[in-house]
Amino acid sequence: MRTVDCVVVGGGPAGLATARTAARAGAEVVVVDENAQLGGQYYRQLPPTFRTPVSARAGKETVEGRGLIDEVRALGVETKLDTVAWAVFDGRTLAVTSGGSTERLEAKTLVLAPGAYDRPVPFPGWTLPGVLTAGGAQNLMKAYRVLPGRRVLIAGSGPLLLVVAHYLLEGGARVLAVCEAAPMRGLWRYGLRMLPHLNFVQQGYRYRQELRDAGVPLLTGHIIRQALGTTEVTRAVVAECDRTWRPVVGTERSFDIDALVVGYGFVPSVELSCLAGAEQRYRPDVDAWLPARTPELETTVPGVFVVGDGAGVAGSAVALEEGAMAGLAVAHRLGRLTEGEYVGRRARARGRLRHLAGFRAVMDEIYRVGPGLYRLAGDQTTLCRCEEVTVGEARAAIAEGARELNEVKAWTRIGMGRCQGRFCGPTLAHLVAQATGRSVAESGVFTSRPPTKPVPLGALADEMG
């Protein structure tokens, strides 16, 4: 087993910013990422063998990310790519697998920057080919220059919908409509709170103007009802919804499509922080479990930090600042920064984060998830894709006495598949809460167990042998 000053899991904005700051101070840093290239979802880079026409211009995020990646590499940071971090033992010992072989890294400090994944929303037809998450569609277009379809409907909630529409229009697709579940009424009330964040407001305005110029309707207060098709999606039905995101009967309208992009926000990836033993707390305002953190972004496990969207989805600007702040804490913990240097730089980082927190708070209020989102699926709708468990089967287990997620899991095998409950867990928690009259927090979460992600059997045998 190898001992390292700092191990960073995740090569997106938060992880890269952590590595840069800690390495600048002289710490030995290893970055582990399961992708073939650094950058994460936001800084997604084209594959090295991919060739684009000279006329094709790289996006702003790609260029910005390339600069950060080059800087991290120039600092001598070791990168382990195509490497899955699948367990944390004894607080800070990380198990990783690459190419079928397993290694353990004993971290003096461990920084988790695992990011987040698209919030899964079961509805009739959501398993049809051609139905994609917003993150999946964005990845196709940013990393491979592949359109998910030519006639596309976008449904969901949050600023990412406008970004995805931008990429689709830029790629030549026809966007039939953008259906935003939030009502978007009374935005004037946020005027004073948004004044310090005019750069973000202007960016959003530019995306909205792009939709208007392209003749794309923005249907606020609308939610997805179902996707239709036989071998692939060919039609989608949306409806008006009330403030709780419940569909209004009689307001349905359909679109003939060849792709449906669905994005109702994101869920932080907390599996590794759970395995490290960090305390998790449920926040109803963002409908997610988040690791408890100190002002230094340290969890309840000494020496284990969580930064970026894995600690609460707040965007790339926050991820960069949190990564820098965690890098300072790591350098100070390792004795690479004096107390005076650390206190001064930490204060500046905290000030920037406080400024950004104001914008994030407004976004969370405007796009707060409505409970009606978890009532879209019928009993015949597949809830657990991996084990092919329906909503009706889950409800039957609850009716027979299951009172929290792990009990439903034991009775139905829901959550036991390849995704380890990431796709079914959030909805199941709401189903349990609705049926039992308890809170979502009281419904519990699936117990995280290693491996948190699929690894070859040979790698596990190597670990045990």
What pLDDT score was predicted for residue 457? 83
CA–CA gap between residue 122 and residue 426 (Å, rounded): 10
Share of the chain above pLDDT 70, in %: 97
What pLDDT score was predicted for residue 464? 65
What pLDDT score was predicted for residue 461? 75
- Which value, to the nearest 10 degrees, does the dihedral of the CA atoms of residues 205, 209, 211, 216 take? 120
Neighbours of 268 (CB within 10 A): 24
Q: Which residues of the chain have pLDDT under 70?
A: 51-58, 463-465
pLDDT digits (tens, 9 = 90+) for 375-410: 999 999 999 999 999 999 999 999 999 999 999 999
CA–CA gap between residue 30 and residue 45 (Å, rounded): 20
CA–CA gap between residue 223 and residue 373 (Å, rounded): 8
Bridging pattern class, strands 131-133 and 151-156: unpaired
Q: For 338, phi and psi rounded to 5 degrees? A: -70, 165
Closest CA to 428 of 383, 372, 365, 379: 383
Q: Does 451 sit behind a cis peptide bond, omega within 30 degrees of 0 on the bond before it?
A: yes
Closest CA to 178 of 195, 158, 198: 158
What pLDDT score was predicted for residue 58? 60
